Amino acid sequence: MRSENVKKGLERAPHRALLHGSGVPKSSMDRPFIGICSSFTDLIPGHSGMRDLERFIEKGVHTGGGYSFIFSVPGICDGIAMGHKGMHYSLPSREAIADMIECVVEAHQLDGVVFLTNCDKITPGMLMAAARLNVPSIFVTAGPMLSGHWRGERRSFVRDTFEAMAKYKKGEIDDFEMSNLEQCACPSAGSCQGLYTANTMACLTETMGMSLPGCGTALAVMSKKKHIAFDSGVRICDLIREDIKPKDILNEKAFKNAVIVDLALGGSTNTTLHLPAIAHEAGIKLSLDLFDELSKKVPHISNLRPGGEFFMEDLDFAGGIPAVLKRLESLIEDNQTVSGLTTKEIAKRAIVFDEDVIRPIDNPYHKEGGIAVLKGNLAPMGSVVKQSAVSKEMMVFKGTAKVYNSEEEAMEAIMGGKIENGNVVVIRYEGPKGGPGMREMLAPTAAIAGMELDKVALITDGRFSGGTRGPCIGHISPEAAEGGVIGLVEDGDEIYINIPERKIELLVSEEELEKRRRNWVKPEPKIKTGYLYKYALNVSSAAEGAIFKKLQ
């Protein structure tokens, strides 16, 4: 066992003394030492219920024959961090989380790790660490929150807070309504109720085989989640005995299956950042082009919020990810999982309990998958859009550019009534380097939806929350700060978007663009100190997953 490096032999007497000081009895010194890497925090509803799950994982570890040690990593709530300086830190925290886990697991020579996670950057950061360290690992995603209820309707975080703000601004709802919506939109612990980034990544963690069947959708407040936590604690002990490691599971088949399920569910566009980053740590190249290649073959079979009307609780009650795999059995590849069952064995055992929540592949909501990759002179390295959340009328669109050099400028214009149908809102210098940190643009996209501007598109070198709906195209690469064409767009320019043909074009002559390039001046970094400055110096483009490629 790895832990023998800290507990065996005469020269390790000081180490054993310290372990005894932390409470480890002599009788447990020969057990596998297992870390429970928890992102518990009171700051995030998706994580505030983790103390209970830590206990059940701990019980499982000791039942399975191991000895557990809880250690923690920080978490950032994208919803609370959004719309101000805090959002600069969200995506960069992914790399910090992976690095911190590496430090703890290697320094203490743990034999295995149970990762307890939930929200947007924490789950991918932990998966990156698991692939990098390659010690036996299993994931427990803490689960979605319950739907809210107000005036006889189910309510959810994005529609009933972010989009409600614009309705309030228009005078459609009053103080009383706004106050009650914000109080009921998040009624329990858990990740936000739709197929936003947190829940998308939880579903894909299960799809890749790194969590037990049912884990990705099991609700945070249900006893089912506690049972999964306990069973995961037991199972990590088996994984150590069987010497099954993340790289035995996180292979090309696992990542391809993840992309297929992502497309079939209509998941968050942020997966085009996270899956390539995790694959990079596993030594696998996952191209942005694969998302688009598969999107043309994989139908969209479940219509969850934000684009549809179903909630994560509906997906769980319909059979969860095992039922989704059953529908997609002809498209996915068989692969090993932490459960001891293969992907197709899980699919064969599954039952689909609701034919509308998880449709057959010959009766999909859309013939193509949820994500499309657009290219053109505006985005020669690619850009992404959640096409499953775009209306038919806006799949092809030509509009007039309204250009803003920050999210704040754009938000002021939208809320100030300066945007009208026929516009393309351009938000730039918000990419991985230019932001820095590639902020999410949920507030502007939700404001556009709430203001009922249904003939407006938004493009950015930043990114979007999984809660975004409508013709919102992000991850434009190269970004403005690196001299990308998005930095050359001017007010009044025409922009052409054709999602079926995968095109995004700035309708300006090459001669005019060359003239603008000669006059373009590389901007000074917005932030010149601390972690964000180091991040901006080393991060790669969104098309490569915004990884620290230069350091590897």
pLDDT, position 190: 95
- Which of 296, 317, 349 is the last residue in one of the domains? 349
Q: Is 292 annotated as a binding residue?
A: no
236-242 average pLDDT score? 98
534 marked ligand binding residue: no
Same domain, 139 and 273: yes
If you average pLDDT over residues 223-233, what whole number do you get?
Answer: 98
Answer with the one of 137, 169, 185 that is the final residue of a domain. 185
Distance of CA 441 to the CA centre of its chain: 14
Res 311 pLDDT > 50: yes
Q: Please, which residues bridge with residue 459 across strands?
A: 426, 473
Residue 162 pLDDT = 83
How far apart CA 450 and CA 145 sit, in angstroms, is: 23
Is the separation of the CB atoms in 60 and 229 below 8 Å?
Answer: yes
Give residue 293's pLDDT.
96
Average pLDDT for the chain: 95
Q: Is residue 310 part of a domain?
A: yes
Say whether both 423 and 434 belong to one domain: yes
In this structure, are 96 and 210 located in the same domain?
yes
* Residue in 273, 252, 291 with CA at minimum distance from that of residue 120: 273
Three-state secondary structure of 78-147: HHHHCCCHHHHHHHHHHHHHHHHHHHHHHHHCCCEEEEEECCCCHHHHHHHHHHHHCCCEEEEECCECCC
Residues 379 and 500 grouped into a single domain: yes
Mean pLDDT along residues 40-51: 96
The answer to whether the beta carbons of residues 316 and 218 sit under 8 Å apart is yes
- Residue 78 assigned to a binding site: yes
**Same domain for 233 and 130:** yes
Contact (CB, 8 A) for 37 and 116:
yes
Segment 245-272, tens digit of pLDDT: 999 999 999 999 999 999 999 999 999 9
271 close to 305: Cβ distance less than 8 angstroms: no
User: Does 300 map to a domain?
Assistant: yes
Does residue 379 sit in the same domain as residue 511? yes
Q: Looking at the domain assignment, is residue 56 inside a domain?
A: yes
Residues 194 and 333 in one domain: yes
The pTM score is 0.95
Domain termination site, one of 185, 202, 234: 185
* Band of pLDDT at residue 2, cut at 50, 70 and 90: very high
Q: 534 lies in a domain?
A: yes
66 CB burial (10 A radius; 0-12, 13-18, 19+): buried
Q: Which residues are catalytic?
A: 465
B/e letters for 358-387, b = 16+ CB within 10 Å, e = fewer, are bbebeebbbebbbbbbbbbebbebbbbbbb
User: Does one domain contain both 194 and 275?
Assistant: yes
DSSP string of 497-519, one letter each residue: EETTTTEEEE-S-HHHHHHHHHH
On whether residue 13 sits in a domain, the answer given is: no
552 falls in which pLDDT band (50, 70, 90)? Answer: very low
Give residue 199's pLDDT: 96
Record the tokens describing residue 25, joined without a space: 């009895």
Are residues 164 and 216 located together in one domain of the fold?
no
Asked whether the predicted pLDDT for residue 352 surpasses 50, the reply is yes
User: What does the chain come to in residues?
Assistant: 552
| Residue 362 marked ligand-binding | no
Asked, for residue 9, whether it belongs to a domain, the answer is: no
Tell me the per-residue pLDDT of 392-409, one tens digit each, with 9 for 90 and over: 999 999 999 999 999 999
Q: Kindly state whether residues 473 and 533 are assigned to the same domain.
A: yes
**Across residues 476-501, what is the average pLDDT?**
97
CATH code: domain of residue 501: 3.50.30.80
CATH of the domain at 229: 3.40.50.2300
Residues 6+ apart with CB under 8 A from 372: 292, 295, 384, 385, 387, 499, 502
> Residue 262, SS3?
helix
Per DSSP, the residues of 441-491 read -HHHHHHHHHTT-TT-EEEESSB--TT--SSEEEEEES-GGGT-GGGG--T
Q: Are residues 336 and 438 in the same domain?
A: no
Domain residues for 410? 372-544
Q: Is residue 295 part of a domain?
A: yes
- State how many domains the chain has: 3
Tell whether 75 and 90 lie within a shared domain.
Answer: yes
| Residue 354 located in a structural domain | no
